[in-house]
Every structure is written in C-alpha cells, then in structure tokens.
Amino acid sequence: MLLSYVNDLRSLLGLENVQYRYGLSSKELFDQALKLDRGRIHPHGSDNEPKAYATSLGSDGPLIFYSDPSCTGRPVQDTFGVAWPEVESKAWWKGDFQKFDPDHFWPLVKRVSEHLNRRQSTLFVQDVYCGWDVKHALPYRFVGEYATHAMFAQIMFPKHLPTQMLHRESERWTMLNVPSFRCDPSTDGTRSDRAVILDFRNRIVLALGRSDYCGVIKKGMFTVMNYHLPEYGELSMHCAANLGEFEDSAILFGLSGTGKTTLSADPDRLLIGDDEHGWTDEGVTNFEDGCYAKLIDLDKDAEPIIATALSQPGTLIENVPRLSHKPLSETDPRELDLSDRSITENTRISYPLSINPNVASGASGPHPETIVLLTADAFGVLPPISILDEHDVMYHFVSGYTSKLAGTEVGVIEPQATFSACFGAPFMSRPASVYAGILADKIRQHKARCIMLNTGWTGGGYGHGSRFPIKLTRAMLDAALAGKVHDNAVEYHRHPVFGLRIPAACPGVPAEMLDPKSTWSDSQAYDRAAVHLKELYQRNFRDKGFADLGLKSII
C-alpha cells in the first residue's frame, strides 16, 4: 500500500516515476547531500559539481553548501504569484512580486513533473510546520532534489506540534524545488530560465532552475504567511522578538544592519526569535525553529551563539569560501575566513533555535508591551530615540527606512536611503496599508508603547560622525522596555524637521546625545542633511502611492 504522501504528491503534482527519501534525520541528510547534491558552484562551471562539503569535523560539524553563483540571495526579479481572480485584487503586485499568468501554471507543473519522472529523480521530502501558533500554523511539505535543502527545511521549521494540528492537513503547503529544471520563457511565461512561483489557490510553491539559495525555502513560506494571516485580521511581521522576566514581550522591526539580531539577543531576556513572527489573538509566536544569520565579518565575541553554531552538528553554512591553502575536508569550520566576500556579501549560517540556551518556551510570548522600530541613519540626522504615537508608527512602518553605506555595493560612494515597506517589502504579499492597519489596531487594543531607535551615526553623517555606541543604544532600549521614556514625568520636544518626540532625558545616556543637532559641529550642515532626508521620505511616500491607500503623511 502506498504511503499517503506518495499518493498526495501523485495527485497534486503528477509525480509517479520518482524515488523518495522521506523524513530523513539530519545525519542522513548530511550524508546524502555529500553523495548526491550536484550543480553549478562556479560562474562558468559544470552543472555536475558537488554542491555540499564536510569540514574536518565530518558529520559532527556543519554541512557547507554553495548555491549557484547567480543566486546568492533571493531571485526577486524572478519571483511571482499566480494571479487567480480571487488573488489578483488582494495581492500587492510589484517588481519583486509579479503576476504569473494562471494559464501557464498547470502546464508548467506538468512539464516539471515530466522532467522528474523521465529522470527517475530522487526527491527528499520533509514534513514540517510554519509557525508555533497552533491556531494559525500551516503544515509545510518540502519536496526537492537536494538533500541540503531538505536539511535546511528541517533546521528552520518546527517539526512537532500538538495533535490539534492534525485537522489542518487540508491546509498543507507544498514546495517543489527542482534546480535541474530550466524554464523556457516563451513556453512557461517566466522572465528567465528560473522562477519562484507561489500559488495561493492550490498551496504550491515552485522553485525552479538556478534558484537554489536556501533562503528561498524560508522566505517563500514567509510570503505565504504574509498573505494568510491578514485573512484572519492577524499580523505577520519581519521582526525580532524577546521576553522579559515579567512576561513583557517586545518586538523589534528593522532591516539588515540596523541591529535587530544583536539587540534582541539580550542576556536578561528570553529570545522568541530573530526574524519572522506572527502577532495573533494568542500573542507573539515565531514562525520558525531555527536562525538564518549573516556571517560576513562576524564578531565572534559579540555574537557568541552564532560563533558556537559554526562548529555544531546539524548546522548549515552557505557560500563561505574555502581557504586557499587547504581543502574543506581538512578545515576546522572555526578557521573559515568570515570576512571573505569573494563569493557574496550574503554569507549565511542556518542553525537550530535550541543552540541558543536562552529561548522562550514554545518560541512564543504574550502580547508585546513595547514596539521598537530600528533604523541605521547614515546621514546622522535622526534622533537616537523617538517616542512614537499611532500615526508616527504607521508612517515609519510603511516607510521602512535605513541607509546603505558607501563601499558596501559597487557604485555606492555616499550614504543612500533605503525604504522597504513594513521592513520587508519583497515578502509582503498584500498592500502595506493592510499590515499597517492591523498593527495600529493591535497597538491600540494592547496599549503597546512605541519607540524608534536610530542605531546609525551621531555628530555627523557617515565618514564624518561616528556610529552611535551600542552600549548607549542598549541603555535606551532598556529604558523603553521598562517604560521609563513613556513616563508622564518625562519631558520631550518635537524635532523641527521630522516632528518626532525626543525625550529630554534617558537613564544611562548623556542628555546632549539625545538631540542629534547638538552633536554636530556645523549646525547649518545638519539642517541641510535633515531637510535632504525629509525630502527622501516624502518622495518615497509619494512614489509608493501610500496616500492613495489611506495612509497619513506626517513629514
């Protein structure tokens, strides 16, 4: 008698003449990856190169994986949603989430299944869940050619949830991940020979061609949750979350480089998670059971959990170059050069949440008492801490501002403003106003305190001023978590350009540091830089059409 998953995959995807490796352990997936995972790892290399490697620690250490050199991050220009009639009016269509013609979808699925059946492919299957909230978590089945990808799914998602989940099998999502398949744009309706396509009607994600960056497996389901939860009036969030000793949860929104992971890892608080969460009627819950952290220039003293994960079994290191003078098989993973950018700036490690000894039970917490928006303003003009009201929160949440720094990308010679709505626009599959409205409702309902922390520059912009000391940022965050900056006795003044409320005092922070203009030696230069950033905010708000979505401009 065929196992149920075999019948399911035959019925859903037409897979018949394939072999399955179902539910393998981490150790088994490690071994299978070394034996079977093949593809391109050099720009002009063969499609039959080994993709996965062991270090000198063997299976007692991490698996090293190299994605296709054209895909060391999410292929956003090749990411689509199937524009079924019931989806088309609800989704937020944009350059990094484009419409896919429904007439092309099932013919493409058939071509992919015929490709796999003809090759008598070996497929790795892992059944996991996206989310810890029993009411809203979704069953998630990964099906793919690479054992490495199955191992990543096993690391990153919860494996075992209570029996209450059993009745939700009809809501299962399935990802079919086939790096060996090449799309034909003229036949398949894709932009190139690769594609990541989400079908919200049939609960299918296709990851095809040179789209083998592991983050596709994670962010695909985050995009699903961003579509799924608002249907129930609940909020999905690109944020970190932690829990204090008095059961006081906090959530921290922020783009890469703003300090989200560092600030949420507080020795005096329990980590709920560092990246993707839901805020439902039950409180805050992590979507994941793992962490997918950047490794570039890792400070091992400042990030001891990640440093420990480097040499642990059941972990996965992605796109860190091998040392020039020895093979990986003779390399202790702690020897790897984490400053080596020769493959990508976006080197990563995936490790179980359990490696962190300071994790909240069930990766969950009660409704948050404090909401933190993080930005790293390289112009050096935003206050280091601002007290936000409801309109402030909605405006800065949909703006999602931070800065790119000179030297981080080719052609970037001065700070550049980056705006990513909801602090994760590429993954937000509904309009930004949907998430902003739910966030505002929940803040009102649960009377959450709100602040914005600028972890960027003070005393001048990048190249002139200095990065705001992490010690002082932590002091401001601690004060906010304790409710001390929202105390009615605290005086504040309005920033003359941005209208933000700046507290006159904050425990552990010199008063002169709180007013950004006072830290500049040239006050006129400060005014020019502040007006410039204000104009960038206004242009982004106008260009994104946020006013047409009913959002209020406050700058």
Tokens of 190: 């894709």
In contact, 504 and 492? CB cutoff 8 Å: yes
Active site residue 260: yes
Distance of CA 543 to the CA centre of its chain: 25
Active site residue 261: yes
The active-site residue out of 219, 322, 367, 501 is 219
Active site residue 396: no
Active site residue 168: no
- Count CA atoms closer than 13 A to 52's CA, side-chain side: 28
The active-site residue out of 275, 289, 377, 392 is 275
Output the furthest CA–CA distance in the chain (Å, rounded).
Answer: 79
Active site residue 455: no
Tokens of 379: 């112009």
The active-site residue out of 260, 367, 404, 495 is 260
The active-site residue out of 70, 180, 192, 256 is 256
The active-site residue out of 31, 40, 67, 74 is 74
Cα–Cα distance measured from residue 356 to residue 342, given in angstroms and rounded to the nearest whole number:
30
Closest CA to 152 of 92, 231, 62: 62
The active-site residue out of 113, 174, 190, 261 is 261
Helix (H, G, I), strand (E, B) or coil at 308: helix
What's the order of all strands across the beta sheet hosting 290-294? 52-54, 63-65, 316-318, 348-352, 290-294
Closest CA to 507 of 477, 463, 531: 477
Active site residue 133: no
State the angle between helix axes of 523-543 and 390-399 in degrees (0 to 180), rounded to the nearest 10.
Answer: 80
Q: What does the chain come to in residues?
A: 555
Active site residue 256: yes
Integer CA distances (angstroms), 293 to 32, 127, 310, 429, in order: 24, 23, 11, 23
Active site residue 280: no
The active-site residue out of 51, 141, 348, 396 is 348
The active-site residue out of 51, 194, 210, 238 is 238
Active site residues: 74, 219, 238, 256, 260-261, 275, 348
